Amino acid sequence: MKGWKDLGAVDALKSREVQPIDLDGQTFALIYNDGVFSALAGGCVHAGGPLGEGRLKGDYLVCPWHGWHFHWRTGEGRPGYGVAVPRYETKVEGGRLWVRTTPSTEAKRKPAHTAHPLTRPIERGPGPPRVVGISTTVMNRNQPRYSTSEDLLQVALDHATSQGSETKLIKLNDLKFRACEGYYSKSAHACTWPCTITQLDSTDELDRVYEALIYWADVVIIASPIRWGSASSLYFKMIERMNCVQNQLTTHDRVLIRNKVAAFIITGGQDNVQAVAGQMMMFFGELGFLFPQFPFIGHSRGWSAEDMENNVAYVRETEHLRNGAKELAGRSLDMAREILAGRAAPTTAERGGRKAGHPESA
């Protein structure tokens, strides 16, 4: 039968409600429900998720990557979404299931004008150096307290302003954003840019951090307290959501962080400044940031210093810590100015020892 291909014995194919089928490089999602077979295209129109590995929820086949829904018989997305995956005819003859390899319907994708703002080209417009400070300290919003790391961060930003820079302070504690939901654990290509959560949840406010780091800032200064020998929980909640930035290099050979400087402020009642700084430098280096000479300042009175009121007083009153914050901002700005003067970074990079596994997707 011209244009038709044999999928196999009907009785065997009935054993699974949803399954992937690969015929000579053409993939299908085969569904058996209510005694009826249906075949849809195997790749989701959103990010290519394997629909044959999805599940049925009512009348809809749910993509295993990002949860997009398609009617299991028509391929149409849920009402109002304006998307669809192609549907293929099936028939049973002689106990065998056949599929027509030419689709009966066409794919529908969301129109281009609905693209997320974070997909726009990365362009650095004219203007003075721009410094964003990100405070990762956690506190009760209704009963705010003094934060040593945030105080020194503000000193650094005030100094940058006095040096002719534009500055911006982002307090993660003021933002409502979801934790990373592990899309990378499903597939490298399931972790998208912008972040899947950012695309699907308009109330998620981490887009402000993405906007600042990718598009706005020339210098990023991260401030964190030490919590049990590590950076704050908000810091880790933020950086786990940065996997979508680093993964663009893995999957598309695309460097999102270019010509940007990172520096760090670390304070705490417990010791471990160097270990916290080491993790921060490793992570932000993996994103593509550059570091000035002496890229962090730290303060700790040690493991035995439980008298936090004295720690607070020390940071508030000690001039050399405040001077250190100013000098950190100055070193970072000096490096940013050199970069802005013409030392542009590449837009792609070789990944020695790392590979995407799917180079055809680049």
Q: Residue 160: pLDDT above 50? A: yes
- The reported pLDDT for the residue numbered 24 is 86
Distance, CA of 266 to CA of 325 (rounded, Å): 11
- The reported pLDDT for the residue numbered 358 is 44
pLDDT per position as a tens digit, 33-62: 999 999 999 999 998 999 999 999 999 999
Q: What share of the chain is helix, strand, coil (3-state, %, to 5)?
A: 35, 25, 45
Taking residue 144's Cβ as centre, other Cβ atoms within 10 Å add up to 11
Distance, CA of 169 to CA of 154 (rounded, Å): 8
Using DSSP, state whether 72 is helix, strand or coil: coil
pLDDT per position as a tens digit, 283-317: 999 999 999 999 999 998 877 777 777 788 888 88
Task: Look up the pTM and report it.
Answer: 0.84
Q: Residue 349: pLDDT above 60? A: no
Residue 68: both structure tokens together? 């997009």
Residue 259: both structure tokens together? 């010509």
pLDDT per position as a tens digit, 256-275: 999 999 999 999 867 889 99
Which of 9, 35, 7 is CA-nearest to residue 101?
A: 7
- H or E element, residue 330: helix 319-340
- The reported pLDDT for the residue numbered 360 is 40
| Three-state secondary structure readout of 23-56 | ECCEEEEEEEECCEEEEEECECCCCCCEHHHCEE
**Distances, alpha carbon 239 to alpha carbons 137, 242, 251, in Å:** 14, 5, 19
Domains of the chain, earliest start first: 15-103 (2.102.10.10), 117-346 (3.40.50.360)
